[in-house]
Structure 1
Amino acid sequence: MIWFDKDLLSAPTELSCEATYWYVHDKVIGTAQGRGTTWFVQLDGLQGALRHYRRGGLFGKLIKDSYWFKGWDKSRSYQEFVLLQKLRQANVNVPRPIAARVIKSGLFYKADLLSERIPRAKDLVGILQQGPLSEQVYIAIGQQIAKLHRAQVNHTDLNIHNILLDDDQVAWIIDFDKCYEQSGEDWKQSNLARLKRSFLKEVERFSIHWQSDDWDALIKGYQSANQ
């Protein structure tokens, strides 16, 4: 089963989530390593990021990329595809979803997602290793997180690896696998607390240029967007 945005997809639908297709047509322009490989591919007018869903942790060493099939609408790629569409409609800066694929085999399935690669963007870790950011940038980051929360979306892995800045200092939020819509308000503070721990962690690991005043600016932006 494949879901796609016909206005963005320039490849044959059934091959859009195949890395080999992009290699054969010399459209792979880069890769990134995380839990698995992300392939950056060139489409007409934009770049895409193709990701195959893989498990993490100890269980992932036994079953790398298969998931229990509970219905097409419960699959991870479909849910992320739809969530990105909803966030775009809510004016949150997230990648445009291009195509999602699920391959069912018996009781299990494998999944892939092709989404937009944000042009000329780097994650906060890489940027903060080079130097500090201004108060206005942190305010803008806080405002994007506030938009995310107003849309009632819980980003379960909100950390500074998943926040990007492009050349115009525009903030983007990425990686919505296993994220979901949630009612209520209490969880939002937990989201923010997780993000703050991420800053503190990377100060220790990578000596990023960050201090408590930067967090105050981020919260200032968050609160101003909720007024």
Structure 2
Amino acid sequence: MKTLTSHKQVIWFDDALISESLAEQAFDPDFWHKHNKVLGSAQGRGTTWFVQTEQLPAALRHYRRGGLFGKIVKDHYWFTQWHNTRSCEEFQLLQHLVKAGVNVPKPIAARAVKRTVCYQADILTQKIEGAEDLVGILQSRSLPHDIYQRIGQQIRKLHQANVNHTDLNIHNILLDNDNKVWIIDFDKCHIEPDLGETNFSVWQKSNLDRLLRSFQKELGKRHINWVQSTDWVALETGYHQ
């Protein structure tokens, strides 16, 4: 990880994936539009821009708050230290997971900009080509049990890397064209203390419980093609293998 520092801004980047000169401009959507490098966009709390970098397609996301507080303070966060900013933490967490062999987007660059006592943040990560989240997939078709087992195995690898995904839901699990399982959206997630080989931990169970509730919610809301008595059991089987 390389670092570019100025008086009120820090950029962290992987120089194997992006040049220093591009990293300095990478967080301005107008730059990508000007150079005809915008591949598309998606709407969530804000706009995620899909852009073509020097090495690979990428997703550019500006950090925005959710919930009621987010209606008042949209994108400012209390500043303590640069390494405690959400962008830096997510960048380093993704690096940790890539090294651990978990299927997550590669972190390309991240930025934090200090605004008096607060900061704003952005992150640029790999765009997973041809991928769709489980919600979209299950609205149109069911999945075989071996796919659910692969999902369980990938979550287990995540947990073996001691990463607590505090918002694990079926919007954050993707399948690409080869049915490879990817896990995304690690904002506010963190590494738990390494306690060695222990029994099933409270935080691990909490992640799986949250994922189960997500399946149940979308079953009622969008009538996804999912059967708890068989599909969830297959996922748990993959997790515990």
Tell me the equivalent position of 1:192: 208
Please tell me whether the aligned partners of residues 18 and 55 of structure 2 are also in contact (alpha carbons under 8 angstroms).
no
The equivalences for 1:80-95 within 5 A come to 80-95=90-105
One-letter identity of the residue aligned with 1:221? G
Deviation at 1:44, TM superposition (A): 2.8
Q: Which amino acid aligns with 2:111?
A: R
Structure 1 unaligned regions, length at least 5: none
Aligned to 1:215: 232
Amino acid at match of 2:42: A
1:157 aligns to what SS in structure 2? coil
- After superposition, give the CA deviation of every residue in 1:115-165 in whole Å (9 maximum; x if it has no partner): 001010000000011110011100000000000001111101000000000
Q: Is the 8 A contact 2:147 2:179 kept in 1?
A: yes
Match of 1:182 in 2: 192
3-state SS of 2:236 partner: helix
Residue 125 of structure 2 is matched in structure 1 by 115
Q: Which one-letter code corresponds to 2:148 in the other structure?
A: Y
Between 173-182 and 4-13, report the one with greater CA deviation.
Answer: 4-13
Matched residues in 1 for 2:145 and 2:31: separation?
44
Which of structure 1's runs of 4+ aligned residues deviate more than 6 A?
Answer: none
Where 1:15 maps in the other structure, the secondary structure is coil
Q: How does 1:34-183 map to 2 (within 5 A)?
A: 34-183=44-193
Secondary structure of 1:118's counterpart equals coil
The whole-number CA distance in structure 2 between the counterparts of 1:150 and 1:133 is 25
- Report the Cα distance in structure 2 between the residues aligned to 1:45 and 1:187, rounded to whole angstroms: 36
Q: Is the 8 A contact 2:170 2:214 kept in 1?
A: yes
Partner residue in 2 for 1:14: 24
Residue-pair matches, total: 224
Calculate the TM-score normalised by the size of structure 1.
Answer: 0.96
Q: Counterpart amino acid of 1:203?
A: L
Q: Is the 8 A contact 2:148 2:234 kept in 1?
A: yes
TM-score by length of 2: 0.91
Of the three residues 1, 8, 11, the one matched with 1:2 is 11
Q: Which residue of 1 aligns with 2:198?
A: none
- Whether the aligned pair in 1 keeps the contact of 2:59 and 2:126 (CA below 8 Å) is yes
Q: In the TM superposition, what is the alpha-carbon distance from 1:111 to its structure 2 partner?
A: 0.2
2:18 counterpart letter in structure 1: L
SS of match in other structure, 1:50? strand
Distance across 2 between alignment mates of 1:147 and 1:90: 8
CA displacement, residues 20-75 of structure 1 (integer Å, 9 cap, x when unaligned): 11111111111101111100001234110000000111111111111110100000
CA contact (8 A) 2:109 2:123 kept: yes
**Structure 2 stretches of 5 or more lacking a match?**
1-9, 196-200
Mapped partners of 2:179, 2:55: distance in 1: 22
Report the AA paired with residue 210 of structure 1: W
Match of 1:24 in 2: 34
